[in-house]
Structures are given as structure tokens and as C-alpha cells.
Amino acid sequence: MYIVDYIKEVASAVKSLATGMKLTGYYFTHPKEIITQEYPDNRATLKMADRFKGEVIMPHDENNEHACTGCTSCELACPNGSIKVITKFEVNAEGKKKKAVDQHIYHLDMCTMCNLCIEACPTDAIKMANTFEHSVPDRNMLIKRLNNNGSKIREGVE
Amino acid sequence: MISFEHITKWLQAWLNAHMSPILVLAVETVLIVILAIALFAVLGLVLVIMERRVAAFMQIRMGPNRVGPWGLLQSTADTVKLIMKESIVPTHADKFLFNLAPFIVMIAAMLILAPVNFAQRFHIWDLNIGILFITSISSISVIGILMGGWASSNKYSLLGAMRSGAQIVSYELSAGLSILTIIVLCGSLKVSDIIASQETGWWIFKGHIPAIVAFVIYLIAVTAETNRAPFDLAEAESELTAGFHSEYSGMRFALFFLAEYINIFIVCAVGATLFLGGWMPFHIGHLQGFNHVMDYIPSSIWFFGKTFFLIFVIMWFRWTFPRLRIDQLLNLEWKYLLPISMVNLLVMTVVAIYHLHF
């Protein structure tokens, strides 16, 4: 029967509209569901996700030692040339010359947070930090040197 | 207890005692104009902030909450910004029509205010064909929309205006039929008579299922008539860049924007008058104590409470349902709403003839 189908169609349409209105009505009457973060106000308690990729950093331990061997894998992996590794040769205790990192230059202004440098690093010397407040008055300040002053490679990292 | 009725009576007596009748009429006219404009301004500010907050809460957001307490001054700040903005007229626009269009829309909205009863015996002009007056004047605003869309000399504006025309013309039918359903019950087009006929109970309760069906159809039809989502394809920000008013800026845009909210207020006021008893307090049968408590609430609060409840429902629609396509829109009207409201009117006529309602 055509008329029965017609009434069924109207009834199901009304039911589906009511379902939608029930959900928005629930949200309206339950302000606790609000997911908005009032950012500058909650800065002290703000918790960023660990997966969030904000910038590349090179962790240093308490002896000011890092794990970077200066192999330039990250520089080669970077698709837009945001990383420049300047290497030097150090003479170790046995009198042998060994390649080491002099300056690990990182251009935050060009970086697309693609994570390829972190995947390319054989010694896990660099990683992604979840910081995000990168605003600076001069763009030269976005060009960063990742290895600290006077830092050296950790013992046993090849 | 002080009510609007006392204030108007006292004012008229005072004016009559001090002036000639013609001057009294002139002073009262000026007062009404000032009051109407003030009501418009206040309504615009209140409804815009209400809309934004309601929308935010329904979408699990906070909404504007920085300007003033709870963000209540946000719409005031926006208005100040709009007043200071430059009003640009496109080079190829029809200047006269372009400038005239927002005022036509506003004047149409202002005229509908005349027969609305805001409180017990508080109205501008309670003429005997009040509801007919409202329905006929509300069709004028489509002329303003078409005018604005045409004069902008912009394809998006023209498309939006044409859609709006098709939409308003078709949805007026079912809105009119659902209004007729209530007119059949109370047998008068005079707004005060319609309210008086609901003294024993509002029509939505007294009129059985046909009244409820008419109420739902009325709500859907007026949502379409005021060009609001889910029927906002005349504006359709995502496809027509705001439709008929995309070329308008500054205060002219604000007038269109304001007219939309005023129209919502008016259709909700008419809906509250027809279905929810206007300023009539809520009474339950013979519960004398309860009814007396309800009578203590001023009639103006009853009227504005009901109107704002309906406005909230229409906002609820807007922030829940997705926009319809133009063919879906016309299908809904011509294949569903119109046949249903015609059958509904027939049923209601039978109910009214045999006095089957309470």
C-alpha cells in the first residue's frame, strides 16, 4: 500500500530527527561534556599528548652528553633541508681521529614535523618534543643549535 | 500589581489631560516608534548572544565568554564594530534598490509587530484581522530579499535570492494552513480573541492530535520561512558565500542580520499566541491553588517565556540538522507538509464542528 509506506516514511523521518535532537539536547543540558580547552588560562595544567610533534630536540644527560655521532643520516633524510650537521674530527685517547658532531643546526621555521629524521637516526640521538609555543620576535631565533655547548658523545655509542 | 496595562492607561489619561487629541496621537505614535526600535535593538543583541551560546553548548564548545560577564556584551561589541565599518556599494550594483532592500526587510518586520499582544491588553493595534495581517505582511520581506539579491549584480546573491523566493513562497502555504487549523477552532482572526479563547487551556492541549500536528508543521514551515538552517540554502555560507547579502557590509548587513532575528522573534510570538495561549498563564483544569499561583506571574513574562522557548526550539533545529538540498526542500513541502496539513485541517474542521475539543 502506497499510503502505508508514506506514513512509515514520515514516522521514521520524525524518529531520526528526534534522535538527533536528543543528542544535542543532552549536550546542551550537560556542560561537563564541553571539550574546549581555555588555553592561556589553563597553561599551568595543560597536558599535551606525547605523540604531538612540536619540534626536534637532542636530549642531553646530566654529564652534558648526547648520542649523536655526527653521521648526518638526519640531514640526508630531511626532505626540505631543515637540518644541517657540521662535523669535526676529534683525536681520542689512543691518538685516533674520529668523526664527531660540531654543530647540529635545526631550522624550526622550515621543519614540517614529518618525523623522517627521527626514524633515520641510528642512535636515537634526536626526538620530537611536544612543545608548541614557538612564537619569537625574530625568525633567526628559530634556527637552533641542538647540541649544547661543550657537550660530547656518550661513552659506548657508535 | 503594576502591569503594562496600568502604565499605558495612566499615560493616556495623563496625555489627554494635558494636550489636544491630535497632539496626543502624535506623541503616542512617536513613543511607539521609539519603543519598537528599542525592542528591535534589544532583541537583536539578546538573540544573537543567545544563538551563539546555545550553538556552542550544543556543539560541546564554550562560545563567546570573554566580553563582559559570561560573554553577554559580545553582541554589543560586534554591533559597535559593524557601525564603524565602511558600507561598500559594488560598482555595478543598482544603487537605489541596493540601498532600499535592507530597509524593506526591516519595515516588513516592524509592521508585523503591530497586532502582537505582548501582555494582557498591551498591544499596538489589535485589529480584527490580526493574523491575516501578520501572514500577508510577512510575505513582503521576500521582496526585500529578491531586491537585494538582484541589485547586488552578483551571481551568488541572485541565486540565493531566487532560492529564498521559491522557499518562502512554498512554505507560506503550509504555515498558513497550520495557522488556519487554529483559526477554525477559535473562529476569529483577532489576536486578543484567539488568546481569550485559550483561557481554559492552550490550544495545543485542547485541540487533540490535530493541534499538535499543526504545531509541528508550523514550526517547520516558519523555520523555512525565516531562512534558517536546516532550510538556510538561501544563505548557504559554504556554497553561496551568504547568498543574497554577500555584497552587503557594515550597517546594511547588520540590518539584514537583525531582520532575520526579528523575524524569528515574530514567528515565535505568533506561534506562542496561536498554540501556547499568548500571555495566558498555564492552568490545569480545576486545581484552584495551582492556577492562582500561575496567575501571580505577570502576563508579559508568560508571553516572553513562551516566545523564547519557541526561539530556543528553532535554534535547537538549526544546530542539530544538516542543510537540505533545494529538491529535498521542495519535496518536503509539496509532498509531505502540504498534504499532511490539508488532511489535518480537514480533521480539525470535523473536531470543531462536532465540538470534540475540550
What was the pLDDT predicted at B142?
83
Given B61, B320, B336, which is nearest A24 (Cβ)? Answer: B320
A28 vs B317: CB contact, 8 Å cut-off? no
Q: If interface means Cβ-Cβ distance under 8 Å, which residues of chain B face chain A?
A: 54, 57-62, 316-317, 319-321, 336, 340
β-pair partners for A103? A86
Range 14-33 of A in CB contact (< 8 A) with B: 17, 20-21, 23-25, 27-28, 31, 33
What average pLDDT is seen over chain B?
83
B97 and B75 together in one domain: no
Q: Is B267 part of any domain?
A: yes
Count of domains observed in chain B: 2
Joined together, the cell numbers standing for residue B129 give 484581522
What was the pLDDT predicted at A137?
92
B326 and B228 together in one domain: yes
B156 and B171 together in one domain: yes
Q: What is the pLDDT of residues A100-123, one digit of tens each?
A: 888 889 998 888 988 899 999 888
Structural domain for B40, as ranges:
1-84
Is the pLDDT at B317 greater than 80? The verdict is yes
Q: Where do the DSSP E strands lie in chain A? A: 55-57, 65-66, 83-91, 97-107, 127-129, 143-145, 152-153
At the second CATH level, the architecture of A55-153 is 2-Layer Sandwich (3.30)
Work out how many CB contacts closer than 8 A connect A with B: 35
Q: Is B358 part of any domain?
A: no
The last residue of a domain, from among B51, B84, B117:
B84
What was the pLDDT predicted at A133?
85
For range B25-29, the mean pLDDT: 84
B94 and B228 together in one domain: yes
Q: How many helices (H) and strands (E) does chain B have?
A: 16, 0
A31 vs B54: CB contact, 8 Å cut-off? no
pLDDT band at B2 (very low <50, low <70, confident <90, very high): low
B252 and B112 together in one domain: yes
Chain A residues inside the 8 Å CB shell of B316: 21, 24-25, 28
- B178 CB-side CA count, 13 A: 31
Domain residue limits, chain A: 2-33, 55-153
What was the pLDDT predicted at B1?
59
Q: Is B165 part of any domain?
A: yes
The last residue of a domain, from among B31, B65, B84:
B84
Q: Which of A72-76, B5-9, B54-58, B257-261 has the lowest mean pLDDT?
A: B5-9
Is the pLDDT at B334 greater than 70? The verdict is yes
B244 and B158 together in one domain: yes
Report CA-CA distances (Å) from B47 to A146, B38, B75, B85, B313: 54, 14, 9, 22, 13
Give the phi and the psi of residue B93 in degrees, each rounded to 5.
-75, 155
A28 vs B59: CB contact, 8 Å cut-off? no
B129 and B238 together in one domain: yes
Rounded distance between C-alpha atoms, residue A72 and residue A61, angstroms: 21
The last residue of a domain, from among B84, B107, B127:
B84
Greatest pairwise CA separation for chain A in angstroms: 98
B28 and B120 together in one domain: no
B77 and B94 together in one domain: no
What was the pLDDT predicted at B324?
82
For range A23-49, the mean pLDDT: 84
Q: What is the pLDDT of residues B35-81, one digit of tens each?
A: 888 888 888 888 888 888 888 888 888 888 888 788 888 888 888 88
B208 and B167 together in one domain: yes
A28 vs B340: CB contact, 8 Å cut-off? no
Q: What is the pLDDT of residues B210-241, one digit of tens each?
A: 888 888 889 888 888 887 878 877 676 677 77
ipTM of this complex: 0.72
